[in-house]
Amino acid sequence: MDKGKFSNEEQLEMYEEMLLARRIDERMWLLNRSGNIPFVVSCQGQEVMQVAASTALDKKVDYILPYYRDLGVVLHFGMTTKEIFLQAYAKAEDPNSGGRQMPGHFGQKKNRIVTGSSPVTTQVPHAVGIALAAKMEGKSLVSFVTLGEGSTNQGDFHEGLNFAGVHKLPVIFMVENNKYAISVPLHKQVACENIADRAIGYGMHGIKVDGNDPFAVYQAVKEARERALNGDGPTLIEAVSYRLTPHSSDDDDMTYRTKEEVEQEKSIDGLIQYKEKLKKEGILTDEIEEKMESKLKEEINEATEYAEKAPNPDPGTLSDYVYSSKEGM
Ligand SMILES: Cc1ncc(C[n+]2csc(CCOP(=O)(O)OP(=O)(O)O)c2C)c(N)n1
Ligand SMILES: [Mg+2]
């Protein structure tokens, strides 16, 4: 971990954002197991790479095409804790889809968070399209898209990266390699050693980084952004960590991996490593930590309560945006 030019405040800000994502996720599981919300798909184990990568982007101009685990990315880009709970409860005020899509299908126009579909990897060609538009219109921005390592076996991945490589488009592909695609371990997903090695087949720069090291991820995304804006084309980044939870609240991971393996990975959890580093350097004190934890708890309590009480979508609006309205025909 080389912290480069980060001030102490900036390092703490990053930590707080990662911690917020973790604490929201933990609350989601409690709400799910107590029968309050129907589904959880977690970011736990991937917060470090998500927040570090987003920090290297320009949230005022860049477009992001997150996937379902990217709580850290969407929080950084401006989605609020309250909005996260509104989507978990599928309430009318859910910014993603007004309660129509599954949780984790993030989309919010004002923050340039582009909505995705449930079939994995469909966000990749969309991101390439946005990068093509930016190039054609001469706009100085990048599109940033994330996906799991299992999703790199989809056709959309090949089509998107090939087109982006040929046309040298300003797009950053970040693969969040958490070592599983539901029950399928990495070695049964791909025969190649590194996902990042696939970049050479598309004529683009590829880099593999430790996804538990915020500064390594930040540096990789920052350089990728500079490359994109200089007209040097796209980058494929593979950031490696581990999925600390089951695939979703509907999965039992003990049917395909061991408790010992999960415990071992928990002991090198990037969030804990980063916290310990900040403590060792005296940047995070016990006092700051306590204050931060209680502030986040309050924010999460308020958001949960708000979302619980918020109105459900009006059933009369069910087919809105599905069929064109008579007035519009
Ligand atoms: C095209 C398609 N096939 C299968 C699924 C079911 N599915 C949802 S998530 C997932 C695993 C994806 O694994 P990975 O890309 O590694 O992402 P992770 O969930 O590990 O973050 C699968 C197979 C789907 N949503 N879309
Ligand atoms: Mg995976």
Q: Which residue has the higher pLDDT, 85 or 317?
A: 85
> Taking residues 51-79, what's their average pLDDT?
98
Our mutation pick for probing the ligand 1 site, out of 46, 101, 152, 182, counting the most ligand atoms within 8 A of Cβ, is 182
Distance CA 21, CA 10 (A): 17
Q: How many Å apart are CA 172 and CA 127, to the nearest integer?
A: 9
Q: Does 295 map to a domain?
A: yes
How many residues are there in the chain? 329
Burial class (CB within 10 angstroms; exposed 0-12, middle 13-18, buried 19+) of 279: middle
Handedness of CA 217, 223, 224, 229 (dihedral sign): positive
Burial class from Cβ neighbours inside 10 Å (0-12, 13-18, 19+) for residue 263 reads exposed
Tokens of 64: 């992001």
Q: Which atom of ligand 1 is nearest to the CA of 176?
A: 21
SS3 content of the chain, % helix, strand, coil (to 5): 50, 10, 40
Note whether residue 1 is domain-resident.
no
Ligand 1 atom with the smallest distance to the CA of 119 is 26
Binning pLDDT at 50, 70 and 90, where does residue 329 land?
A: very low
Residue 72 CA, ligand 1 centroid: distance in Å: 19
User: What rounded mean pLDDT belongs to the chain?
Assistant: 96
Name the catalytic one among 167, 247, 257, 306: 247
The reply to whether ligand 1 has any atom less than 6 angstroms from the CB of 242 is no
Q: Would you call 112 a catalytic residue per the annotation?
A: no
Is 86 a domain residue? yes
Q: Any idea which ligand is nearest the CA of 182?
A: 1
Q: How do 184-185 and 180-181 pair as beta strands?
A: antiparallel
Total tally of structural domains belonging to the chain = 1
Q: How confident is the model at residue 324 (pLDDT cuts 50, 70, 90)?
A: confident
- Decide whether any atom of ligand 1 lies within 6 Å of the 245 Cβ: no
pLDDT in tens, 164-215: 999 999 999 999 999 999 999 999 999 999 999 999 999 999 999 999 999 9
- CATH number of the domain that 213 lies in? 3.40.50.970
State the Cα angle at 220 between 216 and 224, rounded to 5°.
Answer: 170
Judge whether 247 counts as a catalytic residue.
yes
Is-catalytic flag, 243? Answer: yes
3, part of any domain: no
Note down the domain range covering 140.
Answer: 8-328
- Taking the C-alpha atoms of residue 217 and residue 292, their distance in angstroms, rounded to an integer, is 24
Does residue 325 carry a pLDDT above 90? no
Answer yes or no: are the C-beta atoms of 196 and 236 closer than 8 Å. yes
Would you say residue 270 lies in a domain?
yes
CA distances for 93 relative to 30, 56, 74, 159, angstroms: 22, 30, 17, 35
Q: Is residue 278 part of a domain?
A: yes
Please check whether residue 2 lies inside any domain of the structure: no
Decide if 228 is inside a domain: yes
Residue 5's pLDDT band (cuts 50, 70, 90): confident
Does the beta carbon of 225 sit less than 6 angstroms from any atom of ligand 1?
no
Contact indicator for 72, 79 with CB cutoff of 8 Å: no
Q: Which atom of ligand 1 is nearest to the CA of 180?
A: 20
Centroid of ligand 2 to alpha carbon of 31 (angstroms)? 24
